[in-house]
């Protein structure tokens, strides 16, 4: 029992990431009808927003500190982050410590801008091209974005820690009445899950309760009719692309403490996110989110020792297996609409 609870919890953070990426993919897909192979790259760029900010915050200049002497009695040269000069040492340290959460504020406009630029500059020209061309051009874009990041940040993963307050773990088992020290769960993963829940709710609320969202939803259902009503659906779709990019980027930002970001993390997640979208049902936002969490949990249950003893290696293939079975038995996925991308 404890083991299962633990695995469900473990599945939540990965599931959150899947759900966020799949949500963005589905937004793009449902509104623009474009299969975006560069979406994983957006997730990765989000992560590198956090890396960049934490580097910027620790950017230092050299100060001769008269209070510290080396063994020859000369004053030591000390690196002082610029941030100390502005906010003082104590506040500066807190800001540096909280680099990852602060990155959210930076990442939203950056990712929106990148998203809008990609849509206006590239995707726009591919609405009328075959789906294969859309896949190919975004695949090319993903390679390019990946290589740019690799050029500036190198190929190795860059550790980007969570704030001190969230380091360490929470004894879930004790809280739930199990034996202590059995179900231990890092705080940051809880934060990630909560964060994902907030973002997902916000996106849904936005689509549900704003006029903008209503138009977009109507456009997803029937683009031509909405276009005939004289509503400029294209501009709204551009903004949706920016929004989807921001969702992917935020998922990336907050994921950095869980997995040190590297330039190909996006591609790794992308393949699985497609699986999630397919299982959830192409074009269904609820389906994408549900399937994200479901598959995250499924994956982590499949990697339990007891399961592996019966079905060795199942943890490696469970997601693909589920996707294949779903595609063949329920071609529209769990909650997909009819006729989406079936040509």
Partner 1 sequence: MLGLEKSDFRLLLLVIVLTLFAPFLLNPFPVDSTMAQFNAGYPDLMQRFVIFGIFAIGFNILFGLTGYLSFGHAAFLGAGSYAAIWMMKLLTMNVIPAIVLSIVVAGLFSLAVGFVSLRRSGIYFSILTLAFAQMSYSLAYSVLTPITGGETGLQPKIDDPRILDSVLAVGQQARANLFGLDMSTSHDLIVGGWAFTFNAGYYVAALLMVISFYISIRIFRSPFGLMLRAIKSNQNRLGYTGVSARPYTLAAFVISGMYAGLAGGLMVAMDTQAGAERMFWTASGEVVLMTILGGAGTLIGPVLGAGMIKYMENIVSKINSTVLEGWFAWMPEIIQDVVVAVVYPFVGKGWHLTLGLVFMLVVIFLPGGLMEGFRRISDRFFGGSRKTDNSTGGTTAPTAAE
Measured in whole angstroms, how far is the alpha carbon of residue 282 from the centre of its chain? 19
Q: How many CB atoms lie within 10 A of CB 93?
A: 15
Which tokens is 228 given?
């005939």
Q: Which lies closer to partner 1 via its Cβ, residue 58 or residue 315?
A: 315
- Copy the structure tokens of residue 14: 């990965």
CB nearer partner 1, residue 139 or residue 212: 139
Least distance CB 181 / partner 1 (angstroms): 30
Task: Give least dist CB 148 to partner 1, A.
Answer: 7
Min dist. Cβ of residue 229 to partner 1 (A): 29
Residues contributing to the site for partner 1 (CB under 8 A): 35, 122, 125, 129-133, 135-137, 139-144, 146-148, 150-151, 267, 271, 274-275, 278, 282, 312-313, 316-317, 320-321, 323-324, 327-328, 331, 341-343
Question: Residue 92 is encoded by which pair of tokens?
Answer: 């500066």
Q: CB of residue 97 vs partner 1: minimum separation in angstroms?
A: 33
DSSP 3-state of 66? strand
Supply the minimum distance, in Å, between the C-beta of residue 313 and partner 1: 3
CB of 299 to partner 1, least distance (A): 12
Dihedral angle at the C-alpha atoms of 25, 27, 32, 33, nearest 10 degrees?
60
**Nearest-CA neighbor of 207 among 289, 262, 302?**
289
Rounded-to-integer distance, Cα 152 and Cα 261, Å: 13
Nearer residue to partner 1 within complex by CB, 128 or 229: 128
Three-class SS state of 61: strand
Given the complex with partner 1, which of 39 and 189 has the nearer CB atom?
39
Q: What is the DSSP letter of 126?
A: G
Q: Are strands 184-186 and 169-171 parallel, antiparallel or unpaired?
A: antiparallel
The span from the CA of 232 to the CA of 230, in Å, is 6
Shortest Å, Cβ 63 to partner 1? 31
Q: Which is nearer to partner 1, 192 or 274 (CB)?
A: 274
Q: Answer whether 275's CB lies under 8 Å from 323's CB.
A: yes
Write phi, then psi, for 80 (nearest 5 degrees). -120, 120
- Nearer to partner 1 by Cβ, of 250 and 322: the residue is 322
Residue nearer to partner 1 on the CB measure, 135 or 197: 135
For residues 30 and 257, which CB has a smaller minimum distance to partner 1 in the complex? 30
Give least dist CB 175 to partner 1, A: 35
**What region does 177 belong to: left with phi over 0, alpha with psi -120 to 50, or beta?**
left
Q: Give the C-alpha separation, 304 to 322, whole Å.
A: 17
Alpha helices for 154-232 (secondary structure H): 172-176, 187-209, 211-221, 223-228
């Amino acid at each position: 029992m404890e083991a299962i609870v633990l695995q469900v919890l473990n599945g939540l953070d990965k599931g959150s990431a899947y759900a966020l990426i799949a949500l963005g993919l589905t937004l793009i897909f449902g509104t623009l009808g474009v299969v975006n192979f560069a979406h994983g790259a957006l997730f990765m760029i989000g992560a590198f927003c956090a890396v960049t900010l934490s580097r910027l915050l620790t950017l230092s200049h050299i100060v001769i500190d008269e209070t510290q002497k080396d063994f020859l009695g000369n004053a030591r040269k000390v690196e002082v982050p610029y941030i100390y000069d502005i906010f003082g040492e104590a506040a500066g340290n807190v800001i540096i410590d909280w680099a990852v959460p602060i990155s959210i504020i930076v990442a939203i406009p950056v990712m929106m801008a990148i998203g809008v630029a990609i849509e206006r500059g590239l995707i726009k020209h591919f609405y009328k091209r075959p789906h294969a061309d859309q896949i190919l051009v975004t695949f090319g874009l993903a390679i390019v974005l990946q290589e740019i990041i690799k050029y500036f940040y190198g190929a190795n993963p860059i550790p980007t820690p969570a704030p001190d307050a969230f380091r360490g773990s929470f004894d879930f088992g004790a809280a739930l009445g199990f034996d202590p020290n059995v179900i231990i769960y890092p705080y940051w993963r809880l934060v990630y899950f909560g964060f994902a829940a907030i973002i997902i709710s916000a996106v849904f609320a936005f689509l549900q309760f704003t006029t903008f969202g209503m138009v977009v939803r109507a456009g997803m259902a029937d683009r031509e009719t909405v276009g005939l009503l004289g509503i400029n659906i294209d501009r709204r779709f551009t903004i949706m692309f920016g929004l989807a990019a921001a969702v992917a980027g935020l998922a990336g930002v907050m994921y950095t403490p869980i997995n040190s970001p590297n330039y190909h993390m996006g591609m790794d997640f992308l393949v699985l996110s497609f699986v999630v979208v397919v299982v959830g049902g192409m074009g269904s936002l609820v389906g994408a989110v549900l399937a994200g969490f479901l598959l995250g949990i499924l994956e982590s249950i499949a990697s339990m020792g007891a399961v592996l003893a019966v079905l060795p290696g199942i943890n490696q293939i469970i997601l693909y297996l589920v996707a294949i079975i779903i595609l063949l038995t329920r071609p529209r996925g769990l909650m997909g609409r009819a006729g989406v991308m079936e040509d």
